[in-house]
Amino acid sequence: MSQNTSHLLRTPLYECHRSSRARMANVSGWEMPVAFGSQIQEHHTVRQDAAMFDFSHACVVDLHGADVRAFLGKLLANDVARLKSAGKAMYSCMLDGDGGVIDDLVVYFLADDHFRIVLSAHTASGNLEWIRSQIAGTDSLVTVVARRQDLVAEGVEPLATIAVHGPNARETVFRAIPSTQVAAQVKPFNSIIVHDAVVGELMLARTGKTSEDGFELIMLAKHAVQVWDMLRSAGIVPAGLDAWETLRLEAGMQLVGRDMDPRCSPFDVGLGWSVDLDSEREFVGKAALRTRRQTRQFVGLAFEQSAAVARTASPVMNLQGEVIGTVTSGTYSPTLQIAIALALIDPDIPFGAYVDVEVYRHRIAAKVVRPPFVRDGRSTPRLGWQRV
């Protein structure tokens, strides 16, 4: 990383990270902690116990108004009409007019006139403009309020986000902040807002991209350091975004800008399950999806005999040497102790097939598997090889 970091944004937890001697790097224009010590140990801590991540560079957006549900029904590919209980959450893609993925996000139903979404960090500014452009020129009664510190309007308090994941995450959060114990009955993909006497309003959302249980804690930015310290005092160790990257790849979770972008439809990247094409509801990109042909499929690659890590854009080939796709993300899996990757390849290639990947000018054998690689801390790839 360049020594000149004055142009990078910093979260409210920046000084906490510096005092912990975290290794900092440019992440989507933010100076973020990528490791506090051993990345591998941080990864294992999430799989075996609990650790916390600073996710304040993601952009929380509150949408208010009498027409907010109808607006989100037109904006998102998944059907928010299914969110009927306060706190219920839903995963969805936000598409452009051609059916390409602009962002994938989680939408939370907080009240009939209040929904909350979380936009990806590096595309947040442009996506915020896109959302507002969909309201402009209509008579929809919807107000869009960005809650990230660099995007807040005057008079709006910014929020911060701390993700706590691992098999012991929820119990440790309850011990760290006793008022959160009311969230003990919150089910996965649900949330609750707690009013804590010390740190004020605190949202606990049981969502995330590591395949481990836990919470995303969303609080006023001015209380972020206090919440971080409370969690740390209870024994939750900090982890950097390098560990989050290996965790999300093991979980087979896509990253916008890496594994998908507007050139991809949700069906190309394995997210067709989150698209509502059956109802009469019209949403941005729906018409295009009806005629858009799937040209790629989203797969995992397991390098069972090699630790060589494939990089983004590494070619994927069949045994005849014909390029049939590209790697979108690659890493070494600390849990499986092999190299793994996510890739977009020819949709006719079956799972279980044997392919080659170009890694540092060498062709390395890989098995095509259905993500995720790891669930509940254990391996999920099926055994067996099939040549193509």
The CATH number of the domain holding residue 28 is 3.30.1360.120
Pairwise CA distance, residues 368 & 378, whole Å = 18
> Does residue 346 lie within any of the structural domains?
yes
> Does residue 269 lie within any of the structural domains?
no
Question: Which of 235-239, 264-268, 379-383 is predicted least confidently?
Answer: 379-383
pLDDT digits (tens, 9 = 90+) for 315-351: 999 989 999 999 999 999 999 999 999 999 999 999 9
Q: Quick one: 162 and 36 in the same domain?
A: yes
Query: 270-304: string of b/e by CB count within 10 Å (b at 16+)?
Result: bbbebbbeeeeeebbbbeebeebeeebbbbbbbbe
Q: Quick one: 168 and 30 in the same domain?
A: yes
pLDDT at 384 over 80: no
Q: Quick one: 367 and 352 in the same domain?
A: yes
pLDDT of residue 380: 66
pLDDT digits (tens, 9 = 90+) for 186-216: 999 999 999 999 999 999 999 988 999 999 9
pLDDT of residue 376: 74
Residue 90 vs residues 73, 83, 203, 313: alpha-carbon distances, Å: 12, 8, 16, 31
Residue-by-residue DSSP string for 170-195: HHHHHHHSGGGGGGGGPPTTBEEEEE
Domain end (from 224, 249, 274) = 249
pLDDT of residue 375: 84
pLDDT of residue 4: 57
Q: Write the CB contacts of 46 (distance below 8 Å, at least 6 apart in sequence).
A: 165, 166, 210, 212, 239, 243, 247
Q: Quick one: 26 and 46 in the same domain?
A: yes
pLDDT at 228 over 50: yes
pLDDT digits (tens, 9 = 90+) for 92-131: 999 999 999 999 999 999 999 999 999 999 999 999 999 9
pLDDT digits (tens, 9 = 90+) for 59-68: 999 999 999 9
Label residue 201 exposed, middle or buried (CB < 10 Å: 0-12, 13-18, 19+): middle
pLDDT of residue 386: 44
> Does residue 8 lie within any of the structural domains?
no
Q: Quick one: 37 and 73 in the same domain?
A: no
pLDDT of residue 272: 95
> Does residue 256 lie within any of the structural domains?
no
Q: Quick one: 335 and 224 in the same domain?
A: no
Q: Quick one: 120 and 45 in the same domain?
A: no
Q: Quick one: 300 and 386 in the same domain?
A: yes
* Across 85-95, average pLDDT: 97
Q: Which two tokens stand for residue 10?
A: 């910093």
Q: Quick one: 141 and 66 in the same domain?
A: yes
- The model scores a pTM over 0.85: yes
| Residue 5 binned pLDDT confidence (cut-offs 50, 70, 90) | low
Of the candidates 128, 218, 215, the one whose C-alpha atom is nearest the C-alpha of residue 172 is: 215
pLDDT digits (tens, 9 = 90+) for 238-259: 999 999 999 999 999 999 999 9
pLDDT digits (tens, 9 = 90+) for 6-33: 689 999 999 999 999 999 999 999 999 9
More confident residue, 384 or 343: 343
> Does residue 19 lie within any of the structural domains?
yes
Domain end (from 110, 125, 146) = 146
Q: Quick one: 37 and 164 in the same domain?
A: yes
pLDDT digits (tens, 9 = 90+) for 41-51: 999 999 999 99
Domain end (from 80, 114, 146) = 146
Q: Quick one: 210 and 237 in the same domain?
A: yes
> Does residue 5 lie within any of the structural domains?
no
Q: How many domains does the chain have?
A: 3
The CATH number covering residue 342 comes to 2.40.30.110
Q: What are the start-end ranges of the E strands in 258-322?
A: 297-303, 315-317
> Does residue 367 lie within any of the structural domains?
yes
The CATH number covering residue 98 comes to 3.30.70.1400
Pairwise CA distance, residues 105 & 93, whole Å = 6
The per-residue pLDDT of the chain, averaged, comes to 94
pLDDT of residue 319: 86
Pairwise CA distance, residues 34 & 27, whole Å = 9
pLDDT of residue 352: 93
- CB count, 10 Å around CB of 126? 12
pLDDT at 3 over 80: no
Quote the domain boundaries for residue 21: 14-58+157-249
> Does residue 258 lie within any of the structural domains?
no
- CB count, 10 Å around CB of 230? 18
* Across 272-282, average pLDDT: 94
Q: Quick one: 42 and 168 in the same domain?
A: yes
